[in-house]
Structure 1
C-alpha cells in the first residue's frame, strides 16, 4: 500500500511541476521547464500527460504497416523505442518538423496533435518526459492499462 501511495505522490508532484511548466507568456518559467529548455530548446513542456492516450507511446510488436521516420517500418514515431534525445537530434539533423516529424518547419505546421507525455506542442518521441512515463512506477494509475509488448523489433519471417 505504501508503494502505491509513493507512486501516486510522485505522479501528483510531476503533474504539478508539469502544469507549472506549461507555456504561458504571462507565467514565469519554472526550474523544471528551464531545465527542459536547456536540454532541448524546441520542447517546452505542456500541462501534463494525455492519460487516455499515454499507453500509445510504449513499444509495440513489429508491424510493417507502421513507419517511423527515424527507424523505418515496424512502429510509429509515438511508440519509437529510441531515446527522446536521439529522436530530437534526428528531427534537427534532417530539418523535420518538431511537431509532426514531416519535412516542413515547425512554425508552419498545421497539425493539432499534442505530445502524449506532457500535452505540449511537440512530437512525443522527442519529449524529455517520454522516458519518465516508460517506467511502470511512473505510469498514471488512472490511464489505460498497457498491453504486453516486445522491446525488440523482429522482422517478419525471422
Structure 2
C-alpha cells in the first residue's frame, strides 16, 4: 500500500497511521476518569456508595470498549456510542432526583449538568473524528 494519498489537485499528503486516533482514545479515557474523580470528590458522603456501585462497573466496561477500539475492533465503537447515548438519557432522567443538591451547591450543579454534555461530546467525537473512524475501519488495514 502506498504511503501517500493523492489529492485531486495533484498535491500529496502523507498518510497518517493510527497514532492520532489512539491519542483521541487516550484523551477520552482521561477526560472520563477526571470527570468521575471530580464527581466522586464532590459527592456528599451519603451518596458515595451509590456512586461507586454505579461508576466502577460502568468504568470497567467503558475502559474495555476503549481497549477494543484501540485494537481495531469495529464493533466496540458502536457499543461504546450506544452506552454513551444511554448515559446522556439516564443523566437527564436522574437530574430531577438531585435537584435539592443542585440548588444548594453550585459545584455539584456544575458536575451534574456537565455530565450529559461530556457524554454527548464523546459520542459526537466517536462518530465524527476521522482518525477514530480510520482506526476501526477495515479499509485502512
- Radius of gyration: which is bigger? 2
TM-score between both structures, scaled by the size of structure 2: 0.31
TM-score between both structures, scaled by the size of structure 1: 0.28
Instruction: Using CA pairs under 8 Å that are at least 6 residues apart, name the structure with larger relative contact order, 1 or 2.
Output: 2
